[in-house]
Structure 1
Amino acid sequence: MKIKHVTEILEELAPLDYAEDFDNVGLLVGDAQEEVKGILVTLDTLENVVDEALATDCNLIVSFHPIIFGGLKKLTGRTYVERTVIKAIRNGIAIYSMHTALDNVRGGVNEKICETLGIIHPKILIPKKGTLEKLVTYVPRKDAEPLRRSLFEAGAGNIGNYSDCSFNLEGTGSFRSGDEADPVKGEIGKIHYEKETQINVIYAKRLRNGILASLFKNHPYEEVAYEVFAVQNTDQNLGMGMIGELPEPIAEREFLQRVKEKMNVSVVRHSAFLDQKVRTVAVLGGSGAFAIDAAKASGADVLITSDIKYHEFYKAESKLVIADIGHYETEQFTKNLLVDYLTKKMPNFAVRLSESKTNPIKYL
């Protein structure tokens, strides 16, 4: 199996198109055509992780965080980033990062937190914008159903928990074939009127090329009339953070104690308790101060996240409890998630969970 085959499997879970614009995801080091001997899954790729990969005969590291985030202008070994990349290249080890691509999908980082804390009925807290498009096309009525079916098979028409979604209008199209045309309907030089169906389908923007290829392949006309629109709708299964409910309301202090135990947290930094029961909980793995307003607007009693600054705790405004449990702590189970996923997809392949400690923050 080649590296590119593993990355294709990973991108079924978290397509790279769903990563944030500021991020650096995908294959960061290595040749996609290399054969994979073993896979080591980690939260961070550091020198000790590369050493672990060498010791366990793994030549592909699947990392949540990207070791190369900003631009690298030199590789002199001056910084920990440069030393890690040099060691990986020198020893033929590839590095692949998922980061915000995995943050933004169902079954990713935040759903794992919900699962760990027993939060039920989770949904996306901040839906991602700009991920959907709409295709409109026109086809002879008798050909409408086969064309619709081909578009559905290419991935169009999926909205939330529903598939095969379309809107159809009946009308009459007209056209005059030029001298060089090869018309399926009508005669060259004469205007032709055809009873047609207008088909409207929504699809994920990243699927556009495949859907248009299916349209052109299965449409009967020599020249296909179609329109593509950007839409403001959001995909309810894509976005940052999640919000759900506890099976039973519990006191704030009791809930945070549960968080400490379930998330293996030494310290929880939090805003003032409101002396009310916790029922609705928002979570966002990693740095989540930007989610405070969304959590309040969604009616969360508590927001579980990390990297909250001093003045950002004031944004709780007696409307919810903000709980900062640590950056590493919110994302620590991500590597378990990825090992489970890859093992199911490749049951006969060596996938290892890294034992290296990569949390840079220590507690006294």
Structure 2
Amino acid sequence: MVALDPGAPAIEAAIADRCDLLVTHHPFFFTPLKKITSADETGRLALRAVKNDLAIISLHTNYDIASGGVNDLLAGRLGLSDCQPLKITGAAEYLKLVVFVPKGHEEALLKALSPSMVNLGNYRDCSFQADGVGRFTPLQGANPFVGSVGRPQRQEEGRLEVLIAKQKLAAAVSALKGAHPYEEPAFDIYPVLNQGEVRGLGRIGVLAEPMSAAAFALQVKQALAASGVRLVGNPERAVKKIALCGGSGASLLHEAARKGADVLVTGDVKYHEAREAEALGLALVDAGHFATEWPMVHGLAAALVKALEARKYQTEVVAYQGEREPFSFF
């Protein structure tokens, strides 16, 4: 089951639906626990989940930053195009791993390396192979896969090249050594200058056509099914370049203004932040924490269904329907 919050309603719904796993955006524990006890609500919920074999995975900032995550889903709801991260937090670093393997063992090695390999856009398991001849002489104490001790050996081999994420290097080398038939596999690791995926908080993009701030605020309300939104700035000003951050994103005011946004869409805007936006000449649309993050429920559920089907897993994914905005508007 996928939900926004790991509260009692979602946990009870997951248990009633006999789910094994509840995936949420907000974390179950915001601060480290020194004890788990039924004397408080968090402890009661944790014990309730444990006793019913319900695992809970919470994504939070990882899913804010991730491609296809909260902010991309929000941008899609608002009809933005040409979206980029609003505040860059990092970029993926890549390495080229080259390994030499005897003929007939290439597929097994590539399968072992697959979890560490970089996707190129919508393509996975990308590699290059060239044929050649390897030469070596096994020394005393060696246990060669081919050839014999003391005799020079020529072996037809394939040269495999794959791109891997730098943080997965140790896992890739371990997988390589585990799957390679040679006692001492030969491999090279090269740094590359390829620009990896840029990651960051929020998004900034453009509307198809400019519109008034008031009309855009109404469009946000309707697109997110929000009970109400708050607008800071002149309702008549034209807006086209839109910055956004699901949840609490007012800390990105200056970044949005610096990048030329006409308006920032977010939630949890405070009074002095509104005044700061006015001073910067930046309009604000406060659609609330819940409304700006709730699209993740259906978005993540759909993404999980697609990913699980691609891997041939027979797993049912349920989007929890019972969550509501905690605030009422009068």
**Alpha-carbon shift at residue 156 of structure 1 (Å):** 4.7
**Alpha-carbon shift at residue 108 of structure 1 (Å):** 1.5
Q: 1:352 to 1:259 in 2, by over 3 A?
A: closer
> Once the two structures are superposed, what CA deviation does each residue of 1:217-240 show, in whole Å capped at 9, x if it has no partner?
799997678786889986435332
1:349 and 2:316 are equivalent in the alignment: yes
- Equivalent residue number for residue 242 of structure 1: 203
**Alpha-carbon shift at residue 137 of structure 1 (Å):** 6.3
- What is the letter of the counterpart of residue 290 of structure 2? Y
Distance 2:242 2:62 in 1: 23
What SS does structure 2 have at the residue aligned with 1:305?
strand
**Alpha-carbon shift at residue 335 of structure 1 (Å):** 0.9
> Once the two structures are superposed, what CA deviation does each residue of 1:314-354 show, in whole Å capped at 9, x if it has no partner?
05643422322111111111111123234443677362523
Distance 1:117 1:96 in 2: 28
What SS does structure 2 have at the residue aligned with 1:75?
coil
- Equivalent residue number for residue 252 of structure 1: 213
The Cα RMSD (Å) is 4.7
Whether the aligned pair in 2 keeps the contact of 1:59 and 1:92 (CA below 8 Å) is: yes
Q: 1:351 to 1:200 in 2, by over 3 A?
A: closer
Superposition pairs of residues 270-281 of structure 1, within 5 angstroms: 270-273=231-234, 276-281=237-242
Whether the aligned pair in 1 keeps the contact of 2:82 and 2:205 (CA below 8 Å) is: yes
Q: 1:129 to 1:234 in 2, by over 3 A?
A: farther
1:320 and 2:286 are equivalent in the alignment: no
What SS does structure 1 have at the residue aligned with 2:66?
coil
1:338 and 2:300 are equivalent in the alignment: yes
Q: Which runs of 5+ in 2 are unaligned?
A: 128-137, 150-159
- What is the letter of the counterpart of residue 215 of structure 2? E
- Equivalent residue number for residue 134 of structure 2: none
Q: 1:232 to 1:360 in 2, by over 3 A?
A: farther
- Equivalent residue number for residue 228 of structure 2: 267
Q: 1:282 to 1:227 in 2, by over 3 A?
A: farther
Distance 2:125 2:55 in 1: 39
- Equivalent residue number for residue 262 of structure 2: 301
- What is the letter of the counterpart of residue 258 of structure 2? A
TM-score normalised by the chain length of structure 1: 0.66
- Equivalent residue number for residue 363 of structure 1: 329
Off by >4 Å, runs of 4+ in structure 1: 135-139, 149-166, 177-184, 199-202, 213-234
What SS does structure 2 have at the residue aligned with 1:128?
strand
Q: 1:316 to 1:215 in 2, by over 3 A?
A: farther
- Identity rate of aligned residues, in percent? 32
Superposition pairs of residues 69-88 of structure 1, within 5 angstroms: 69-88=30-49
Q: Which runs of 5+ in 1 are unaligned?
A: 1-38, 167-176, 189-198
> Once the two structures are superposed, what CA deviation does each residue of 1:157-181 show, in whole Å capped at 9, x if it has no partner?
6566899999xxxxxxxxxx99878
1:117 to 68, 74, 78: 78
- What is the letter of the counterpart of residue 252 of structure 1? A
Distance 1:307 1:245 in 2: 23
Whether the aligned pair in 1 keeps the contact of 2:277 and 2:283 (CA below 8 Å) is: no
Whether the aligned pair in 2 keeps the contact of 1:129 and 1:234 (CA below 8 Å) is: no
Q: 1:201 to 1:292 in 2, by over 3 A?
A: farther
Whether the aligned pair in 2 keeps the contact of 1:306 and 1:327 (CA below 8 Å) is: yes
- What is the letter of the counterpart of residue 323 of structure 1? V
- Equivalent residue number for residue 157 of structure 2: none
Superposition pairs of residues 212-223 of structure 1, within 5 angstroms: 212-213=173-174
Q: 1:182 to 1:85 in 2, by over 3 A?
A: closer
> Once the two structures are superposed, what CA deviation does each residue of 1:202-229 show, in whole Å capped at 9, x if it has no partner?
6423432343346657999976787868
Whether the aligned pair in 2 keeps the contact of 1:159 and 1:202 (CA below 8 Å) is: no
- What is the letter of the counterpart of residue 326 of structure 2? P
The alignment of Structure 1 onto Structure 2 pairs a total of residues equal to 323
**Greater mean deviation of Cα atoms: 75-84 or 228-237:** 228-237
- Equivalent residue number for residue 52 of structure 1: 13
1:63 and 2:29 are equivalent in the alignment: no
Distance 2:222 2:234 in 1: 19
Whether the aligned pair in 2 keeps the contact of 1:135 and 1:226 (CA below 8 Å) is: no
Superposition pairs of residues 22-33 of structure 1, within 5 angstroms: none
**Alpha-carbon shift at residue 124 of structure 1 (Å):** 2.5
Whether the aligned pair in 2 keeps the contact of 1:281 and 1:300 (CA below 8 Å) is: yes
Q: 1:42 to 1:158 in 2, by over 3 A?
A: closer
